[in-house]
């Protein structure tokens, strides 16, 4: 019988030894797991096995039909319960994910996409948004604030929202840490990957992310899913959606 390591050596380009060991261990762990469970994508309706993605690997994270990830499906659960918060609203969506755009666009009075790179409706820097005060009712910002100056971005989001407007925020957060970890001396991509989990991240948020939101002038609510619904939709246990309302 040909060994798994030999198969990998024959089918993959040469890998550093540690990467090969990690890959081999991951494949063995997946093989030894209990039978995979079909999940339900509450965005496209598919019932099927979800696909692995990410690093560290999340083995059942991505819907194979629409490409939704755990955070997208969590947001969909909130939208199902809070449709009135976006229906008929003017919505600005930074770095829009296709899975969320398909949900939000049909409900919005005005739906505008934005990114620092070209290719969206508007080319905007979230740290200095070139828009008038009180331009939008809702701002969507998912997994962006760990890439930028979050204090500047939150201040700008607050300015651009109307009074009573809502920012829907999602970030990677280490809830066990009281304080956000950031270090301005760490600038090299490989060092950022080691310290912050990704080469273009500049921090790991701790539980004090809530204080950062409030200091920007927002009232804050949180949404998460619990129990069987997490299993059903393949969600990350304990992941949060932060609902920041401008006072």
pLDDT in tens, 105-161: 999 999 999 999 999 999 999 999 999 999 999 999 999 999 999 999 999 999 999
pLDDT in tens, 67-89: 999 999 999 999 999 999 999 99
CB 74 within 8 A of CB 239: yes
Phi, psi at 86, each rounded to 5°? -125, -20
CATH architecture type of domain 70-246: 3-Layer(aba) Sandwich (3.40)
Task: Give the torsion through C-alpha atoms of 247, 156, 206, 210, to 10 deg.
Answer: 0
Kindly provide the residue ranges of all beta strands, DSSP E only, lying in 157-233, ordered along the sequence: 161-170, 181-182, 203-204, 218-223
**DSSP for residue 35:** P
User: Where do you find CATH 3.40.50.150 in the chain?
Assistant: 70-246
CB 70 within 8 A of CB 235: yes
Between the alpha carbon of residue 40 and those of residues 61, 142, 152, the distances in Å are: 11, 22, 38
CB 244 within 8 A of CB 167: yes
Over 70: is that where the pLDDT of 221 sits? yes
Q: Which of 165, 153, 140, 159 is nearest to 76 (CA)?
A: 140
pLDDT in tens, 172-188: 999 999 999 999 999 99
CB 198 within 8 A of CB 232: no
């Amino acid at each position: 019988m040909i060994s798994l390591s030999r198969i990998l050596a024959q089918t993959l380009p040469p890998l550093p030894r540690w990467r090969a060991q990690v890959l081999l261990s991951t494949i063995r762990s997946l093989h030894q797991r209990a039978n995979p469970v079909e999940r339900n994508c509450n965005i496209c309706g598919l019932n099927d096995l979800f696909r692995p993605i990410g690093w560290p690997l999340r083995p059942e994270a991505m819907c194979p039909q629409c490409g939704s990830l755990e955070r997208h499906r969590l947001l969909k659960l909130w939208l199902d319960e809070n449709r009135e918060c976006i229906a008929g609203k003017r919505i600005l969506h930074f770095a829009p994910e296709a899975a969320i755009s398909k949900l939000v666009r049909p409900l919005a009075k005005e739906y505008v996409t934005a990114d620092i790179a070209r290719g969206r409706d508007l080319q905007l820097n979230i740290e200095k948004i070139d828009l008038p005060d009180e331009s939008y009712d809702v701002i969507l910002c998912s997994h962006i604030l760990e890439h930028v100056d979050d204090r500047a971005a939150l201040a700008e989001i607050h300015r651009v929202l109307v009074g009573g407007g809502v920012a829907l925020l999602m970030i990677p957060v280490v809830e066990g840490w009281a304080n956000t970890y950031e270090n301005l001396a760490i600038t090299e991509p490989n060092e950022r990957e080691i310290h912050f989990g990704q080469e273009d991240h500049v921090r790991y948020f701790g539980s004090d992310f809530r204080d950062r939101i409030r200091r920007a002038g927002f009232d804050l609510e949180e949404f998460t899913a619990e129990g069987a619904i997490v299993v059903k939709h393949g969600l990350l246990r304990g992941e949060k959606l932060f609902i920041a309302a401008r006072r």
